[in-house]
Structure 1
């Protein structure tokens, strides 16, 4: 038994819709760039497939039968839907889509707040953001570029330095007051600490590395809390759950707004940082050039405006500004 829901020949439906709209096989043939007998043959095959007449053949043309009226309504609705989807696909092809991979922290606290500015600068560019906390080989991913954290070495890729790793412990103002912190690194030894879960090898600085850099050892566990994304770490810090390692300029706006305060007066800078990483084999369009320039300029400005960035040298210690007068001993 034949399937009653089987679709009729699809090309015949196109011929049928044109003939139904024109109410003339000859006019439909001109529209479709074919002959009147070819249209008549296609309509006949469609009627045979359906087992029903779709047109009444009249002396001055044709008119639709009740079955023809039913079918043309369904065909027009379907073709309209297909046309809309096709238009969207063509428009998407005409617009440039840039796929950028980065980690949760950078996407949440740096990139997302600035996307409106990027849209104004490059209105024809659609940005797709892919986030992952794990390290990956960008050459094997369907992305155009990555804002990645590391030492600047990515095989088969070019890397442009964006932001150095500048780390300062941060906490909520209420936590700072409750713990009666003095701003000294030694205060951190017995406090509850917030950790970002990290796979080996560690890329970001962790608390053990921070203590080692300051020549300190912890005096207690302090009821620590470990979370698997940086936004959760920062959320716990703003809720007064402990002290988190803050990366400038990711936490700058939270510090400016008073949601977080530095728990230690001296930031630390390492040899790592964020880089704009691009596979050497990928396309190089004008949109990519403009995004690259925008990223470099925005990161430089963010670093200049950071309450932590300007006072830190690559040695990892806070220093006076170059033109600042030395303080008295």
Structure 2
């Protein structure tokens, strides 16, 4: 089942997108920018929900944003209860940490004044609220006897918000990147380096923290396939990260690539408000080396993440051999991308 945010068509991006069930899910329930059965947010960013409502394409109802995670968690429990006699998978995509934040009063009172601004307080309160909701979900699954054989994966998609409105009056944008350069909409580490939390009772090493393994979203499918004993689909990207569950770091992996937007696209994607966080739209990582470049491979930047994780010092000029090798790989990969259609 897929339950929660979808954002793969069905709103301001693509109006006639396939439902999540077209991608292999037996059951789906989503929100705006997703079609099929869905909930529409009645308060925050209502204009997006109204766009979704006009598309039709499935039953829908309205609800306050602050109530969505509880709704999704209850649906997840119901789905598991109905399928507990066989293996099940739930893709639970929450939207609490995406601004505008909508915490409840209890969570807001827990953190009031602990942030750097009122926006920061609301973000922190939303995190507290989400954490409590996940705790209740896991407790319920435990009561059902499901947690003894369930792998829980918690991760995210990008760095904290970097919209211009958060910097008004000299304020600091909510959320921390721990001094990493970049935020949301950036290919610097602060925009793409995310937590990956794995829990599997009797298998994961409690309290273990892996600072060596480099994983990416493309690794989740081959990892899950290996764990459940399914055949790895042919031609997919990614590696099996299952050794990490047992506390064994993965030292080497194939190169990683990123593209934020497309060459020749009629519309440029959003950029962080602060110039320091604005990164070139294409990148490659080979071991600890990371190279970023503009369209066509122009203006390459090279960083050694082992010694410079904050990407403060561009060493492209001083490491021409490494720069040219990575740039050649990146340009070859960029040439394989589907061209933009105006």
Same fold, judged at TM 0.5 (above): no
**Structure exhibiting the larger radius of gyration computed from Cα positions:** 1
TM-score category of the 2 structures, normalised to the smaller one: under 0.3
Q: What is the TM-score when the length of structure 2 is the normalising length?
A: 0.23
Q: What is the TM-score when the length of structure 1 is the normalising length?
A: 0.24
Higher share in strand: 1
Higher share in helix: 1
